[in-house]
Every structure is written in C-alpha cells, then in structure tokens.
Amino acid sequence: VSDIDPPMAILVRKLASRGALAAEDEAAILALPYVTRTYETRSYLMREGEPAKRFCSVVLSGFACGHLITVRGPRQVVSLHMSGDILNLQNLFLKQADRNVQALTRLDTAEIEREALKALAAERPAVAQALWVDTLVDASVGRSWMVNIGRRDARTRVAHLLCEFATRMKAAGLDEGGGYEIPMTQEQIGDATGLTSVHVNRTLRSLAQNGLVHRGKRYLALTDLGKLSSDAEFNPLYLQPDLSEPAP
C-alpha cells in the first residue's frame, strides 16, 4: 500500500487477510464514505462506560492501545492496534464502550459511519464474514494474552509481547529494513504484561545483554526475531495468519 493509495485500501488489505474478497467486494469497501481524523499522542478515542460512538475507526497510521483501569489504580493494556486495525467494531452493535482506547503515537484514522458499514455487511456477505472473522481473531489474541500474563515469567512475557508486535507489524507491512521499532514506553509494556515499569526496565536490560533486543536512547528495536521467538515460546498460530476457508 503506497502513500498515494486511498485510505480505504488499507481496510481492503486487512479484510482480504480475514477472508477471500471478490473484486466487487473490494470495490464496495473502497467506495465506503469516511472522514479522516488525527489524534495526538496520549489522546483518547473512547472511554470505558461511555455510550458507543456512531462510527468505527480504522487505523491509517500510528499506533493505539486499549486499556482498562482497576478501582485501585493499576491499568491493564488489553489490546494493541496498528495500521489496518479496526478499533471499535463493537460500536456496530453494543451500547457502551467496554474499555478505553488511547493513541500511543500520533494517529491517523478513517471514521466510517456505523450504518454505512452495517449496510455494506448486509449487501456483501464476504465482507460481513471478514469482519466477523476479525472479531474472532481479536478474541483469539486476547486468549493468548491471558496465557502470557497469567503463566509466564517476566522475561518470557515481555519477549512474547515484542514478538507479537513485530509479527503483526510485518503482516501490516510496517517492517522497514527487517527491524521493528516498538512505539511503547516501558510503563506501557508493563501495563500490557502485568508488570511494573521498573521491572520491565530490568527485563529489557537483560534481553539486550543477550542480544535479543536493541535499545537506543529513547526507543526499542528488534533485530533477531528468530532467537527472540524461541525464548518467548512464541507460536504465531493464534494470530491466524492463514485463514482460508476450512475444507467442507
């Protein structure tokens, strides 16, 4: 997807990865009406408990995360989003936002009216299926996070998160020169893995000493994804890279 492609081409790419689309399906997606919008770093796209918005947002560039905050304060990051991801498909049907969504970087989105998307899904079964499959994959990713948070030690946990991030960036076409820059602070990594930022700091130092990650002044990069993957017990099956229809 080059810079001069229309924004909806990013959505076509995403949905095509969730199910086979005919040329007419792709044309219909490209014809969707939308409004682009830019969010600054740290700004909220939605907040838990708020009434659902009347549109769904597709990430065009930048990164975002979903998170929830407990009564006593600590926050848990529950999802990460990048180019092509649909941030809030829930808005199609649910009344209230079930989490916060916040920009991790400067973020460009395309907003699609709920009714336009529902109409498209009603007319084009293949598109409806791709959207549905996308929510199934989201749930699968969530299960994988539960395992990560609940049953792995800090080192493996952080490594696993980084592997998932890199793998998804590659799938989204965001790998540049084989390296991956992770757009998260140590505190955010901690919030996504159920650790404190202090411990994430120590864990990253350890990973860097083994050459599994590369740390610059204010960024974190991955180079040797292979070695990191085996340390992380990373098996990308749960990301459902191959979604072609099961044999009848």
Partner DNA sequence: CGAAAACTTGACCCAACTCAACGAACGTGG
Partner DNA sequence: CCACGTTCGTTGAGTTGGGTCAAGTTTTCG
Pairwise CA distance, residues 199 & 193, whole Å: 11
- Closer residue to a second copy, CB minimum distance, 61 or 238: 238
**Does 129 interact with a second copy (rule: CB under 8 A)?**
yes
What is the spatial distance between Cα 176 and Cα 113, in angstroms, rounded to a whole number? 33
Per rule CB under 8 A, is residue 140 in the interface with a second copy?
Answer: yes
Show contacts of 225-232: CB within 8 Å, 24+ apart: 225/163, 225/166, 225/167, 225/180, 228/159, 228/162, 228/163, 229/163, 231/155, 231/156, 231/159, 232/156, 232/159, 232/160, 232/162, 232/163
- 38 binds DNA per the rule CB under 7 A: no
The answer to whether residue 218 forms part of the interface with DNA (CB under 7 A) is yes
Q: Are 199 and 187 in contact (CB under 8 A)?
A: no
User: Binding to DNA by residue 186, rule CB under 7 A?
Assistant: yes
Considering only residues 3, 4, 93, 216, which one is a binding residue for a second copy as defined by CB under 8 A?
Answer: 93
Strand order in the sheet with 220-222: 180-182, 220-222, 214-215
How far apart are CB 29 and a second copy at their closest, in Å? 18
Question: Pattern 100-139, binding to DNA, x per CB under 7 A?
Answer: ----------------------------------------
Restricting to residues 146-185, which ones interact with DNA according to CB under 7 A?
Answer: 153-155, 185
Q: Are 56 and 107 in contact (CB under 8 A)?
A: no
Specify the residue, 110 or 195, whose C-beta has the smaller distance to DNA: 195
Which of 24-32, 135-143, 207-215, 220-228 is the region at the interface with a second copy (rule: CB under 8 A)?
A: 135-143
Tokens 């493996």 correspond to: 156
Q: Is 194 in the site for DNA (CB under 7 A)?
A: yes
Residues making contact with DNA (CB under 7 A): 42, 153-155, 185-187, 194-199, 201-202, 204-205, 215, 217-218, 220
